[in-house]
Amino acid sequence: MISFNYENNFNLENEEVLSSWISSVIIAEECKEGDINYIFCDDDYLHKLNVEFLNHDTLTDIISFDYSVGKIVQGDIFISTERVEDNAKDFEVPFSEELQRVLVHGVLHYCGYKDKTEEEAKLMREKENFYLNQLSSN
């Protein structure tokens, strides 16, 4: 089950559409959906998690805690809406598009994709674009 939680004043307008889309990504990747919690927060909230759990003293747009077991994908995905907004401006894309990219990025990690090397990052971006196109064509 996919759930959306809010630790700031942000609210998704289309939870059902996005939840169905994320579920379809998981199925397409031949995985099974477990409990996936998206937690929307601000920079301060996410920075504290980044320092406490990952020992990174930097701002980031997403941190995911992967509790997947085999092909059952599950975990907690924390997203800073402030970072997403800044990144959308930097990349000159609408906020909604950048947010959707981050949403699918987190779940693709759970499906086994990495982005540490240039080659892994390229494949991750291709997968993100593929699924973003599916969402926009519906």
Q: What is the pLDDT of residue 34?
A: 97
DSSP one-letter code for 69: B
Q: Find tokens 């995905």 and name the residue.
A: 77
Query: Which CATH number fits the domain that encloses residue 72?
Result: 3.40.390.30
Confidence of residue 138 (pLDDT cuts 50, 70, 90): low
Q: Could you tell me if residue 113 is left (phi over 0), alpha (psi between -120 and 50 degrees) or otherwise beta?
A: beta
> For the chain, what is the domain count?
1
Domain that holds residue 122: 2-136
Extract the annotated binding site: 105, 109, 115
pLDDT digits (tens, 9 = 90+) for 92-127: 999 999 999 999 999 999 999 999 999 999 999 999
Binding site per annotation, positions for Zn(2+): 105, 109, 115
User: Are 62 and 78 in contact, with CB atoms under 8 Å apart?
Assistant: yes
